[in-house]
């Protein structure tokens, strides 16, 4: 039988080497003889096996002390319950030829040795597998999504809508636009990233969840107070009261008539901006009244 090499000689370190020196030596040699870096080289594979066995023993304090005392029969001594430092008796070391046990280094051990930036993580994972013994698999690559804008009206944003987009290759996908969605929101469906664009509205102006609408108010209503109507995003009109002596540009809050909240919160409000209208052409009574007012 070929003579088993001394573990210290395998790693090229003296018996007085520190744990750090042992790990450093193994790290250097393992990089040189790793099977994945020496494909088809059986000598390199056998050398790497020797290095792994030597490091597995010498990097463990108790196993190293048993090895220092019992040599290659350290495993048999350990199985027999021997403790480091125990007397070996007149027969000296246990008989040679005992079976030596070893284990391969785990990916976690190798990561500790080579560090995260060593570039060996994928190599070790492909050889040793994960912690449960299954080969590590590369995650499937996700297809690149097509990016496209979709334009909707403010009224469609208020009630929610959908758009059909044709992807390269002819496949069509439907994009649901939730009620109250904000401009610039990216909606994702398989194969598509759709950016919402809201077209300008001729009547309403959006301000967050709130909307603003300009409402014509006759002069006499602005002065004496009264009731007027304003359009709404959901269609139709809503009537509201204008207090007496309301100034031009005053905003009257109409609760709950703004944009819905896409997250399910309370809706925004609608602000009716008063635009006072002069009676043109003025009748004789109004003209006389206006002339009598102080400047």
Look up the CATH number of the domain holding residue 275.
2.60.260.20
Please give the structure tokens belonging to residue 125: 């994972």
Is residue 56 within 8 Å of residue 67, measured between CB atoms?
no
Give the bridge partners for 214, in sequence order: 273
Pair (252, 212) in one structural domain: yes
What's the CA gap between 49 and 268, in Å, rounded?
A: 71
Is residue 74 within 8 Å of residue 66, measured between CB atoms?
yes
What's the CA gap between 47 and 279, in Å, rounded?
A: 104
Among 198, 232, 259, where does a domain finish? 198
Of the listed ranges 89-103, 136-150, 185-199, 225-239, the least confidently predicted one is: 89-103
**50 or 258: which carries more pLDDT confidence?**
258
Among 104, 135, 159, where does a domain finish? 104
Going by DSSP bridges, is the β-strand pair 237-242/226-231 parallel, antiparallel, or unpaired? Answer: antiparallel
**Domain extent for 256:** 204-292
pLDDT at 216 over 90: yes
Q: Considering the chain, what percentage of its residues have pLDDT values greater than 70?
A: 78
Is residue 47 within 8 Å of residue 93, measured between CB atoms?
no
Domain assignment present for residue 184? The answer is yes
Task: Specify the length of the chain in residues.
Answer: 295
Mean pLDDT calculated for residue range 125-133: 50
Residue 211 is predicted with a pLDDT of: 96
Residue 210 is predicted with a pLDDT of: 96
Q: What is the total count of domains within the chain?
A: 3
Residue 91 is predicted with a pLDDT of: 42
pLDDT at 96 over 70: no
Look up the CATH number of the domain holding residue 34.
1.10.287.110
User: Over the stretch 240-249, which tens digit does the pLDDT of each residue have?
Assistant: 999 999 999 9
Domain assignment present for residue 191? The answer is yes
Domain assignment present for residue 276? The answer is yes
pLDDT at 215 over 80: yes
User: Over the stretch 144-190, which tens digit does the pLDDT of each residue have?
Assistant: 788 889 899 999 999 999 999 888 878 889 999 999 999 999 999 88
């Amino acid at each position: 039988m070929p003579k088993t090499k001394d573990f210290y000689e395998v790693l090229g370190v003296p018996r007085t080497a520190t744990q750090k020196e042992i790990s450093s030596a193994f790290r250097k040699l393992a990089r040189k003889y790793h099977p994945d870096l020496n494909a088809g080289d059986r000598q390199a594979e056998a050398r790497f096996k020797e290095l792994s066995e030597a490091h597995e023993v010498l990097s463990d304090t108790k196993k190293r002390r048993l090895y220092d005392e019992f040599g290659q029969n350290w495993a048999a001594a350990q199985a027999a319950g021997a403790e480091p430092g125990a007397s070996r008796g007149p027969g000296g070391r246990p008989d040679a030829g005992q079976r030596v046990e070893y284990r391969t280094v785990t990916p976690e051990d190798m990561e500790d040795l080579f560090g995260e930036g060593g570039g060996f993580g994928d190599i070790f994972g492909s050889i040793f597998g994960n912690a449960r013994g299954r080969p590590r698999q590369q995650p499937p690559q996700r297809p690149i999504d097509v990016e496209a804008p979709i334009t909707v009206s403010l009224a469609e944003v208020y009630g929610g809508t959908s758009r059909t987009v044709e992807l390269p290759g002819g496949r069509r996908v439907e994009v649901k636009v939730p009620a109250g969605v904000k401009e610039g929101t990216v909606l994702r469906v398989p194969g598509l990233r759709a950016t919402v664009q809201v077209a300008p509205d001729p009547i309403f102006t959006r301000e967050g969840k709130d909307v603003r609408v300009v409402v014509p108010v006759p002069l006499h209503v602005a002065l004496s107070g009264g009731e007027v109507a304003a359009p709404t995003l959901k269609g139709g009109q809503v009537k509201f009261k204008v207090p007496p002596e309301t100034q031009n540009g005053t905003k009257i809050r109409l609760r709950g008539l703004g944009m819905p909240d896409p997250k399910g919160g309370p809706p925004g409000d609608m602000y009716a901006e008063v635009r006072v209208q002069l009676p043109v052409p003025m009748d004789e009574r109004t003209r006389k009244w206006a002339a009598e007012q102080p400047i």
